[in-house]
Each structure stands twice: as C-alpha cells, then as structure tokens.
Amino acid sequence: MQTESITTMKRHLIAVLAFFVLASATHAAAPPNILFILTDDQGWCMMSERMHPDIPESRIADLRTPAMDRLAREGMRFTSGYSPGPLCTPTRRSIVNGMTPARQRGTEFKSTWVPADHLTIPRALKQVNPAYACAHFGKWGEDMISTPEQCGYDASDGLTVNNTGSPGGLGDTRFTDAVREDPKLITTLTKRAVEFMGAQVKAQRPFYLQLSHYAVHRQVQASPATNEKYVKGPKPTRQFTPTFAAMMEDLNAGLTQLLDEVDRLGIAGNTYIVFTADNGGYATYANTDTSLPSNNHPLRAQKQYLYEGGIRVPFIVRGPGVKAGSVSHEPVTGYDLLPTFFDLAGGKAALPSDLDGGSFRAVLENAGAGKVKRALPGIVHHRPNFAALPVSTFRMGDLKLMVNNKTGDQELFDLAKDIGETKNVAATMPEKVTEMSGILAGYLKSVNAETYNAAPAAKKKKAKTKKADAK
C-alpha cells in the first residue's frame, strides 16, 4: 500500500511538473507585441541623451527628452541608425515594404510605386501569426497611393499628410511658430495608441502598432504652458526656437504616457519598442542665431541631403533579450525593419528576394555585437534628381562613398574618424572607391533605379534659345 501511495504521488508530481513546463513553454512562445514610433524631421542629436556615448555633441543639452532618454537607458542605441531617405515619403514607402527607395523608383515624393502590391510589415507579421492586430496612427505620407488598410493594417487614420497634423493647414504659416492646445495632435495620437493597445491586451491578441508622429516637422507647435516655460529662457544654444524645444517636451510627454501604459498593461516583458525618425533634421530654423552651432552638429548638412545630417537619425530598440543601456555601432536602416519584425515574431519562411533589408535580431540579442546580413554588403541611398546635390551613396563598414550622378565626381569618407565628412579620402583609397562604386552601380542597374535626368534643364535651355531666336 505504501509503495502504491508513493507511486501515485510520483505520478501526480510528474503531471504537475509537466503542466508547468508546458505552461512555461506556451508563455515563452507567446508572440511579441511591437510598438514602432516614428518621428518626423528629428535629427540624430536632437535628444538630451547622447546617441553616441563617445561623442559629446551627439546630444543637445537644451532639449528635455525624458521618454527618449528612458528608451536609450533601457534598450539599445544604434549609433549608426539611418533613415532610408532624406525626406519623408521615400522613407515611409521604404519602411513598409523593406526595400530601398532606389528599388521602388521612389526617391522623391511622387512615384508610381504601389506599396499594397508587395509584401508589407503587417502582411509579414500575419504570415507568422494571423492573430496579429495591426494599426497605423498618425502621418502616413504624401503621395503614398496605397492606404494603410490596403497594406494590411486593421486600423488607421487613413491617407494622412503633413497638413493633417496642422489643423487649418500649413500654408504660409509653416515658418511661423504656433501655440496649440493639442500641438501636432500629440495628445490625440497618444490617446488612439493607448486605446488600441488596451483593446488588444484585453482580447489577448498580439499587436503591431506604428505610431507616426507629425512632430517635430514644421510648422513648429507647442502647448501654451510648455511654450511659456521655454520662452522665459534660457536661450537655446543651437539654431532652434524656444517653441521648438517646447514641442520636443510635449512630444516626450506623449511618449512617456505611452511607455507608462505599456507598464500598466503588464506587457513590457513581451513588447519590443522601436524608436527612430523619417529623416534628419533641419540645420536651422527661422528667427534663430545662425552664429550658433547647427542643429545637426557634428553632422554635415540637413534634411534633403545625403550627407549624414540628412539621413543619420536616432535609432533605439527596447524589448525582451535587449540588454539595457547597450550600444551597437552596426549600421542599420529603416528598410531593415520588415525582416527584423518578421524574425522577432518567429518567422521562419524565406522572405521575397526583392527585399533589401536584413534582420538585426542577432545584434539585439548579442548586446549590440554582430552584423546585419543583407543581400548587399552595405546600405544604399539614392537621390539622383535632387537639384542641389544629385548623388547616390553606399556605406560599407565605416566607409561611405558618394557618387555625383551629374558630374561623376566621387567622395569617400571614413565615418569612424570623420563623422562630419570633412576629409575626402578617395585619392588615398582608390581600390576601395573602385570596389564600392562597382557594387553601388551594379545594384542600381539591377533594380532599374532612376537615373540623373538632365531633360528639364535641357528643355529650359531650348526654350530660352527659341525665345532669343524669336527676338
């Protein structure tokens, strides 16, 4: 009887242990939530926390960004984070499809590219797990053609553009600071995001939420109380207005509410939060002291340009397996997000061969070390018909090649030693120029990328000649 009793007890114990092992495995296998926060026109150093721990100028002390700083302290900073393009719409198309703007023939605002005709982030996640609820709130982008719903989102604000975030329209007010009760719709967007997350947690559904803020794009807007605090001083030490600094604090107040809600819902341990910007910031703002350092210092140039000031952006990830306070110097970009999210969600199937991005999950789970595996051994930027500087660039390792599409001139910068791109080392490293220019040219040809178009200038010259002949 005693032996029988012991045997029964053992069976019960084994059953209980099996239950807990199964429950633990089920819990571990729960698909993660992904919260992707995209700001507008936020330069690399437009935070109060350094984006590069060894570069003091990679922060702006005048700005108060507690939520962004919190993410940096609790997650991983990528010192070489890039937007896919130097302006908003090419970046947004690129992110949703995991492709370069060059492949999408969408290096400017207008393009015939239809995002809904290709794999998108929501569709990729739903392939892994159909239970994913996906939402996009905030700015979708100018000339995007497809709606968020056509791209696989379950909820959205629709075909929103810059003007959506500036009630009454931008018009001639773009360069005039304004005071609003809900600046750049920060409060409205935060409320939408909080409600969406709460609903999915209640329904026990994993979610992907992209929150695309209208801030800090011009027009500069801030709430009355925050603006009053900054107007009183002290004066900024960079080329932005007190209202810009106030807007940044208002934005962080919304982000803080969002982070607190993730904690309140009890999902922080299973939620990845990715924070970045759609392109670099403006070097200066109207009515500021231009003798002060640029807003993008120590980077060169600004939004619109393919120098670092136009494309290097804040890039932070917090989530399970990501070491708090870690730093990675591995270059990553917005078109890496689709394959990374797919990987983090547990995707195993091969992704389409026309994706340009690569997953950086291994970097996240290895304290920042490791490499992103892409089909191309580097990051491509392409803007062949930007009148001020029609260039294509290729970053491979620490080296960045710039090729002028109009003149053929080449520049090579060693970003590890010269983050401000002040020394062209092309003449001293001809073999690298040859190698990198060959890879870049081969890629652009393979995707039938846009080329430099001299036609507009030629037509203008022809019209001028015809007018002179008529005289």
Joined tokens for residue 417: 């030693």
Chain segment 10-35, per-residue pLDDT in tens: 554 444 444 443 334 434 469 999 99
Strand pairing class (81-82; 332-333): parallel
> By C-alpha distance, which of 201, 190, 192 is closest to 265?
201
CB 218 within 8 A of CB 282: yes
* Residue 173: predicted pLDDT: 75
Residue 46 C-alpha from the chain's centroid:
14
* Residue 174: predicted pLDDT: 79
Chain segment 404-461, per-residue pLDDT in tens: 999 999 999 999 999 999 999 999 999 999 999 999 999 999 999 999 997 654 444 4
Q: Which residues pair with 207 in a beta bridge?
A: 133
Interatomic CA distance for residues 180 and 225, integer angstroms = 10
Mean pLDDT, rounded, for 356-363? 98
Length of the chain counted residue by residue? 471
Assign 3-class secondary structure to the chain: CHHHHHHHHHHHHHHHHHHHHHHHHHHHCCCCEEEEEEECCCCCCCCCCCCCCCCHHHCCCCCCCHHHHHHHHHCEEECCEECCCCCHHHHHHHHHHCCCCCCCCCCCCCCCCCHHHCCCHHHHHHHHCCCCEEEEEECCCCCCCCCCHHHCCCEECCCCCHHHHCCCCCHHHCCCCEECCCHHHHHHHHHHHHHHHHHHHHHCCCEEEEEECCCCCCCCEECHHHHHHHHCCCCCCCCCCHHHHHHHHHHHHHHHHHHHHHHHCCCHHHEEEEEEECCCCCCCCCCCCCCCCCCCCCCCCCCCCCCHHHHECCEEEECCCCCCCEEECCCEEHHHHHHHHHHHCCCCCCCCCCCCCCCCHHHHCCCCCCCCCCCCCCEEEEECCCCCCCEEEEEECCEEEEEECCCCCEEEEECCCCCCCCCCCHHHCHHHHHHHHHHHHHHHHHCCCCCCCCHHHHHHHHHHHHHHHHC
CB 118 within 8 A of CB 460: no
Share of the chain above pLDDT 90, in %: 87
Joined tokens for residue 346: 């547990």
Assign 3-class secondary structure to 271-336: EEEEEEECCCCCCCCCCCCCCCCCCCCCCCCCCCCCCHHHHECCEEEECCCCCCCEEECCCEEHHH
* Cα angle: 264, vertex 267, 272; to 5 degrees: 125
Q: How confident is the model at residue 166 (pLDDT cuts 50, 70, 90)?
A: confident
**Structure-token match 């497809």, residue found:** 146
Joined tokens for residue 246: 């106030």
* Residue 1: predicted pLDDT: 44
* Residue 24: predicted pLDDT: 41
**Structure-token match 């002291």, residue found:** 289
CB 343 within 8 A of CB 125: no
Share of the chain above pLDDT 70, in %: 89
Mean pLDDT, rounded, for 137-164? 97
Joined tokens for residue 137: 């709130």
* Residue 336: predicted pLDDT: 98
Q: Which residue has the higher pLDDT, 471 or 157?
A: 157
Structural Rg of the chain based on CA atoms: 24
Strand pairing class (33-39; 315-318): unpaired
Q: What is the phi-psi region of residue 32: left when phi exceeds 0, alpha when psi lies from -120 to 50, beta otherwise?
A: beta
How many Cβ atoms sit within 10 Å of the Cβ of residue 360?
29
Give the list of residues 6+ apart from residue 63 with CB closer than 8 angstroms, or none.
46, 47, 48, 245, 248, 249
* Residue 175: predicted pLDDT: 84
Interatomic CA distance for residues 192 and 158, integer angstroms = 13
Domains, in order of start, for the chain = 31-364 (3.40.720.10), 384-455 (3.30.1120.10)
Chain segment 294-335, per-residue pLDDT in tens: 999 999 999 999 999 999 999 999 999 999 999 999 999 999
Chain segment 263-272, per-residue pLDDT in tens: 999 999 999 9
> By C-alpha distance, which of 280, 290, 134 is closest to 197?
134
* Residue 460: predicted pLDDT: 44
Mean pLDDT, rounded, for 41-68? 97
* Residue 335: predicted pLDDT: 98
Alpha-carbon dihedral sign for residues 86, 90, 93, 98: negative
What is the residue type of 206? P
Give the list of residues 6+ apart from residue 190 with CB closer than 8 angstroms, or none.
254, 255, 257, 258
* Residue 464: predicted pLDDT: 46
- Report CA-CA distances (Å) from 413 to 60, 293, 300, 309, 313: 25, 22, 12, 14, 18
Mean pLDDT for the chain overall: 92
> By C-alpha distance, which of 320, 343, 345 is closest to 133?
345
Chain segment 236-271, per-residue pLDDT in tens: 999 999 999 999 999 999 999 999 999 999 999 999
Mean pLDDT, rounded, for 119-133? 98
